[in-house]
């Protein structure tokens, strides 16, 4: 019995001594200023000055738990550091300690949910692109890590679905998109689709057999042709609306002449032709010789003012899937045409960012 009492007394004494130690320790720490505690962690006077200036008081304990790390000071010293994102920087840094600090800051500042993706200069540069879409980030990285191209090229290529391979997937064109309906090597019109508001182009506005366009597009085209004439530029339609059946015959003729692979570079498969939308026109001549003419130059510089875009521009063949066609113009409306012209993007890129992304 005495032995049990002795053991109990010893335990009580140990607990009492430990409690006294905690009281003295906490009292000592409470008497220390944040400056002193940070110095105990190994931070210099300059480091401490930065911490006190850049970190909220609510996060001081986080700094102490974090321990000394020069990279923390590098984060806080950045011109792009945002105090409200302190926890985000720390969380992402702890997952990417070997990454460039500036890349970490750019990625966190982007506001996108990227914490499960390793920090890299490629990811950072992608998030700074105007047409970046977060849902496409995995495909951006897959393509960018295997191709030596610019971040802008990566974003445009992937947004247009070109990384999937042309005709690899097929979607119904959304007619509710109106003048912005997308018809390309992924989006197609049904076999029986014919716009209900087609009107004929005549007189000075037309020199071709396929002379019909949707009403709004036709009126805009005539207005553009009138404006060009004032600048001594003569423009006219030579091929506008084409039916599905017309495209069947045309495409098959090209295959017979040049083979399927070659035909796909300049001719659309039936249902995938923009001409069936009634919103596009081939102007003056379907010939490479049209490039560099006064008419082609005028169109390139002015068509957007009337709602038209150069649909298959040079340098964008890998995005549109078609060779450069200086004669092929598509009506999208003035607002969209202005953005596409000024930002040097294609309808595919515009559609992915302004239409598809906002419909999710």
CATH number, domain containing residue 206? 3.30.1380.10
* pLDDT score of 332: 98
* pLDDT score of 125: 98
Q: Running along the chain, 360 residues long, what does each successive block of 10 average in pLDDT? A: 52 52 48 84 91 89 84 94 94 94 97 96 98 98 97 98 96 97 98 97 96 98 98 98 97 96 94 98 96 98 98 97 97 98 98 89
* pLDDT score of 68: 86
Q: Is the dihedral of CA 264, 269, 272, 276 positive or negative?
A: positive
Domain contains 17: yes
**Given the residues 274, 295, 325, 348, the one annotated as active site:** 325
Domain span including residue 257:
165-359
Domain contains 21: yes
Domain contains 61: no
Give the span between the Cα atoms of 25 and 101, in whole angstroms: 36
- Residues 197, 344, single domain; the answer is yes
Give the span between the Cα atoms of 301 and 332, in whole angstroms: 16
Indicate yes or no: pTM above 0.85: yes
Domain contains 156: no
* pLDDT score of 33: 87
Domain contains 104: no
Domain contains 140: no
Domain contains 225: yes
Please indicate whether residue 317 is annotated as part of the active site: no
Beta strands in 284-352 (DSSP E): 308-310, 328-331
SS3 357: helix
* pLDDT score of 25: 46
Give the span between the Cα atoms of 244 and 195, in whole angstroms: 12
Count: domains in the chain = 2
Domain contains 215: yes
Q: Which among 306, 313, 299 is positioned nearest to 343, based on CA atoms?
A: 313
SS3 85: helix
Q: Are 284 and 303 in contact (CB under 8 A)?
A: no
* pLDDT score of 360: 61
């Amino acid at each position: 019995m005495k032995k049990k009492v002795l053991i109990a007394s010893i335990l009580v004494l140990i607990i009492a001594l430990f409690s006294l130690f905690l009281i003295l320790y906490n009292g000592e720490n409470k008497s220390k200023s944040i400056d002193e505690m940070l110095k105990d962690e190994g931070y210099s006077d300059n480091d401490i000055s930065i911490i006190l200036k850049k970190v909220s008081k609510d996060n001081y304990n986080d700094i102490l738990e974090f321990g000394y790390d020069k990279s923390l000071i590098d984060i806080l010293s950045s011109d792009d550091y945002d105090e409200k994102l302190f926890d985000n920087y720390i969380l992402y840094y702890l997952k990417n300690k070997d990454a460039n600090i500036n890349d970490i800051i750019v990625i966190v500042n982007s506001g996108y949910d990227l914490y499960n993706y390793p920090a890299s200069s490629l990811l950072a540069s992608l998030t700074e692109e105007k047409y970046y879409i977060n849902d496409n980030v995995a495909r951006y990285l897959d393509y960018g890590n295997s191709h030596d191209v610019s971040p802008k090229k990566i974003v445009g290529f992937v947004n247009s679905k070109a990384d999937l391979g042309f005709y690899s997937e097929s979607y119904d064109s959304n007619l509710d998109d109106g003048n912005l309906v997308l018809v390309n090597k992924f989006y197609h019109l049904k076999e029986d689709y014919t716009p209900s508001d087609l009107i004929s182009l005549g007189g000075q506005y037309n020199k071709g057999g396929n002379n019909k366009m949707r009403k709004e597009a036709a009126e805009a085209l005539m207005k553009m042709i009138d404006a060009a004439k004032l600048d001594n530029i003569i423009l006219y339609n030579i091929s506008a609306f084409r039916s599905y059946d017309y495209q069947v015959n045309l495409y098959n003729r090209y295959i017979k002449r040049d083979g399927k692979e070659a035909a796909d570079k300049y001719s659309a498969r039936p249902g995938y032709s923009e001409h069936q939308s009634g919103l596009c026109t081939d102007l003056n001549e379907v010939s490479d010789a049209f490039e560099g003419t006064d008419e082609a130059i005028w169109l390139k510089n002015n068509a957007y003012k009337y709602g038209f875009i150069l649909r298959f521009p040079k340098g964008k063949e890998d995005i549109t899937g078609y060779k450069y066609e200086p004669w092929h113009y598509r009506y999208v409306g003035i607002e969209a045409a202005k953005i596409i012209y000024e930002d040097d993007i294609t309808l595919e890129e515009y559609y992915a960012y302004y239409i598809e992304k906002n419909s999710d």
